[in-house]
């Protein structure tokens, strides 16, 4: 009887993990293809991103209000000093990362975007070394070389290569390295109380919106104000369709962040990391099949080389956390506030928290 119950529990956990991975895939792959689809007809990616930020803030505020009413516990609200000194740098880097990523879809294919954005792990490692969040080891040097070499092979003589789009997404990956390093440092400050992703998103979105507004005003403001799609619309039907499409993207962006954290909290960050690797492969296969993206054999070899570097880094993290053994949990995994139907993460899962952050950035 005990063995049967154990088998049932194992099967249930496997089915639950698979369901959470599929949910994560739906939001992550969905928002990538959504961004590419929308920018084909709506050439204002910065405005699109700003509306997504507004929707995320709306859903975060609503979630916080519902949780506060059900738990009768006040949610964390930072002082202006902490908000501007500690949250603002992370918010600005996040806004530039997401904004440049969406901007690049005007010029490049989904496959080139996916491959180039995967290089974010490279910049995360570099900035982790600079901020002394990682120790310099020979294995890390190998990881960097594999990812950098794979990126070069993938973009070398690519038939659909676009320098402007590539520069935008590579810049986003570079800023993403700063973004997630700052995010890690922000979440590890337990006194701020931002361990819950809903609270984090709630505090980040306003500053992200303000940080992205100058770019929007310079590059899209005048064109958008004279566009018949928004401000000079002739018919309410097309306007409502555009606004509905933009709102859908905001829902996908909110769902992506929540599904990532839900997957980590119910399984482990290692599961998210491995799922992220297979997600990149699925995205490229779908791009080649649905959008007709042309990928040569050399490009595929470069992608495989890059994935091997990412996989090696994931494996090293897993071995490092096991070798250290149980240790006091801090930062993101420090008694996380998971009232939104989440259970508390286990200590061994929390030790891999850095991997979780690294794969968040790959989704833009």
Are residues 97 and 175 in contact, defined by beta-carbon separation less than 8 angstroms?
Answer: yes
Ordered per-residue pLDDT tens for the chain, 364 residues: 567 766 777 788 888 888 888 998 999 999 999 999 999 989 999 999 999 999 999 999 999 999 889 888 888 888 898 899 989 999 999 999 999 999 999 999 898 898 888 777 778 778 878 877 777 788 878 888 888 888 778 776 665 788 899 999 999 989 988 887 787 778 777 778 777 778 888 999 999 999 999 999 999 988 888 888 787 777 888 889 999 999 999 999 999 888 877 776 677 656 666 777 788 888 888 888 888 888 788 888 888 888 888 788 778 777 766 655 444 433 333 333 333 333 333 344 444 444 444 444 334 4
What is the per-residue pLDDT for 324?
55
Domain residue ranges in the chain: 46-321
SS3 54: helix
Pull the structure tokens for residue 313: 């880094």
**From CA 361, how far away is CA 128, in angstroms rounded?**
14
Read out DSSP for 10-53?
A: HHHHHHHHHHHHHHHHHHHHHHHHHHHHHHHH---HHHHHHHHH
pLDDT at 127: 80
């Amino acid at each position: 009887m005990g063995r049967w119950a154990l088998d049932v529990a194992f099967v249930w956990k496997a089915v639950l993990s698979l369901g959470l991975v599929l949910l994560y895939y739906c939001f992550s792959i969905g928002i990538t293809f959504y961004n590419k689809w929308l920018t084909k007809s709506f050439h204002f990616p910065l405005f699109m991103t700003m509306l997504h930020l507004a929707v995320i803030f709306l859903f975060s505020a609503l979630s916080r209000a519902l949780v506060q009413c059900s738990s009768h516990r006040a949610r964390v609200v930072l002082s202006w000093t902490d908000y501007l000194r500690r949250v603002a740098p992370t918010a600005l880097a996040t806004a530039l990362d997401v904004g440049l990523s969406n901007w690049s879809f005007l010029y490049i294919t989904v496959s080139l975007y996916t491959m180039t954005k995967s290089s974010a792990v490279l910049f995360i490692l570099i900035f982790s070394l600079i901020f002394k969040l990682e120790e310099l080891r020979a294995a890390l040097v190998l990881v960097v070389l594999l990812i950098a070499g794979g990126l070069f092979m993938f973009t070398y003589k690519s038939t659909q290569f676009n320098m402007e789009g590539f520069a935008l997404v590579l810049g986003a990956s570079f800023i993403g390295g700063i973004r997630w390093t700052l995010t890690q440092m922000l979440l590890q400050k337990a006194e701020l109380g931002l361990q819950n992703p809903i609270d984090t998103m709630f505090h980040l979105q306003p500053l992200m919106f303000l940080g992205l507004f100058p770019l929007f005003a310079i590059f899209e403001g005048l064109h958008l104000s004279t566009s018949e799609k928004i401000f000079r619309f002739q018919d309410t039907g097309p306007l409502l369709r555009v606004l509905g499409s933009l709102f859908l993207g905001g829902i996908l962006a909110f769902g992506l962040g929540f599904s990532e954290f839900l997957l980590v909290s119910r399984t482990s960050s290692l599961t998210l990391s491995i799922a992220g690797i297979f997600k990149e492969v699925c995205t490229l296969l779908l791009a080649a099949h649905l959008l007709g993206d042309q990928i040569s054999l050399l490009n595929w070899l470069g992608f495989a080389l890059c994935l091997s570097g990412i996989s090696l880094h994931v494996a090293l993290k897993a071995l490092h956390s096991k070798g250290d053994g149980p240790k006091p949990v801090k930062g993101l995994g420090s008694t996380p506030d998971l009232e939104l139907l989440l259970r508390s993460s286990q200590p061994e899962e929390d030790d891999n928290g850095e991997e979780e952050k690294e794969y968040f950035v790959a989704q833009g």
